[in-house]
């Protein structure tokens, strides 16, 4: 379906319970301030911004378990988010979710995969987000959403929306990884998840990486979700993120990846997460997010 006829529904999730550094709850506002709706409308889309989910502030709740911080609150938000996403998918519109920390992907993926037979998943990130309570060095749930989506982790997280797993290892591609914990490395090897580290991107070039990615996530699937953490980009281009890692994807490499996804026409949902305006420089990271979203939806130079 032509996404311009389909229409786009924007949903903000101002979540910062999954991360240690505060400020990422302002990510949806920063992206809106950088003119996301105007950008997409200018590209010819019918855009409906349905506002933000209500997310508890950390100050008003107990951390709970140190290895699963704010578990109860994150489960509650994830269930609500999954329900909202399911409704958007049922309405036939394209869901575009703005984070918030990457723990929101637990609810996003649960909602968009519910009505699909088998979903492909593209994970742009400096990190693997494949930790569980047993392997996490911090207990921060934003380092766990990909593991949770695979059915690994605390039962309350794994069974969001009443089913598990949401995705299968052979349908997942991680792009831009350059900071992996030992438990994550072991899991990647054990499950055979395709990970393009910065080493592969440097050697192969982003064009070849995306060709292979598109092949993997479309093989035997009926939908493809993009989960893009702005820390996948180099901190020079996206300074306003909670966990920056040097040596990331350049502005141009990131755009090329989005442009190739637009050309392929495979995406059925997307989320952009971890924009932290408190750590940013003149909203540079939110502007980068909006520029990448423009490319995803077909913006070209010529």
Question: Is 229 labeled as catalytic in the residue annotation?
Answer: yes
* Rounded Cα distance, 275 and 79, in Å: 22
State residue 285 phi and psi, 5-degree precision.
-70, -40
Of the listed 16, 79, 101, 129, which one is catalytic? 129
For the question of residue 101 being annotated catalytic, the response is no
Cβ-proximal residues to 60 (8 Å cutoff; 6+ apart), any chain: none
Could you say which of 16, 25, 101, 127 is catalytic? 127
Crossing angle for the helix pair 71-90 and 105-113, nearest 10 degrees?
30
Establish whether 20 is a catalytic residue.
no
Q: Is 274 a catalytic residue?
A: yes
The verdict on whether 142 is a catalytic residue reads: yes
Q: How many residues does the chain have?
A: 302
**Cα(141)–Cα(20) distance, integer angstroms:** 10
Q: Active-site residue among 101, 231, 234, 280?
A: 231
Q: Which of 79, 101, 102, 271 is catalytic?
A: 102
Is 16 noted as a catalytic residue in this protein? no
Measured at the CA of 181, the angle between CA 185 and CA 81, to 5 degrees, comes to: 95
**How far, in whole angstroms, is CA 180 from its chain's centroid?**
17
Residue 231 bears catalytic tag: yes
Q: Out of 79, 86, 234, 274, which one is annotated catalytic?
A: 274
Query: Would you call 181 a catalytic residue per the annotation?
Result: no
Backbone φ, ψ for residue 209 (5° rounding): -60, -45
Cα separation, 16 vs 25, whole angstroms:
5
User: Of residues 101, 142, 168, 271, which has the active-site annotation?
Assistant: 142
Q: Which residues are catalytic, by number? A: 102, 125, 127, 129, 142, 229, 231, 274
């Amino acid at each position: 379906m032509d996404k311009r006829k389909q229409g786009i529904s924007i949903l903000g999730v101002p979540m910062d319970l999954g991360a240690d550094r505060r400020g990422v709850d302002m990510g949806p506002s920063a992206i809106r301030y950088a003119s996301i709706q105007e950008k997409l409308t200018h590209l010819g889309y019918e855009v409906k911004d349905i506002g933000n989910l209500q997310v508890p502030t950390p100050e008003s709740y107990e951390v709970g378990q140190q290895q699963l911080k704010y578990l109860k609150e994150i489960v509650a938000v994830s269930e609500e988010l999954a329900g909202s996403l399911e409704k958007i998918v049922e309405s036939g519109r394209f869901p575009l979710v703005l984070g918030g920390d990457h723990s929101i992907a637990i609810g996003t993926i649960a909602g968009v995969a519910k009505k699909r037979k088998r979903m492909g998943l593209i994970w742009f990130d400096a990190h693997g987000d494949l930790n569980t309570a047993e392997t996490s060095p911090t207990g921060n749930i934003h380092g766990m959403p990909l593991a949770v989506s695979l059915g690994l982790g605390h039962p309350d997280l794994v069974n969001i929306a009443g089913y598990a797993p949401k995705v299968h290892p052979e349908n997942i591609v991680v792009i831009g990884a350059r900071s992996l914990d030992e438990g994550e490395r072991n899991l990647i090897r054990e499950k055979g998840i395709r990970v393009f580290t910065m080493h592969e991107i440097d050697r192969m070039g982003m064009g070849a990486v995306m060709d292979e990615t598109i092949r993997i996530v479309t093989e035997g699937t009926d939908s493809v979700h993009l989960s893009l953490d702005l820390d996948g980009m180099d901190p020079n281009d996206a300074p306003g993120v909670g966990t920056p890692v040097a040596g990331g994807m350049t502005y141009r490499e990131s755009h090329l990846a989005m442009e190739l996804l637009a050309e392929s026409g495979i995406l059925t949902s997307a989320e952009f997460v971890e924009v932290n305006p408190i750590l940013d420089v003149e909203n540079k990271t939110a502007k980068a997010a909006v520029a990448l979203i423009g490319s995803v939806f077909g913006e070209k130079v010529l």
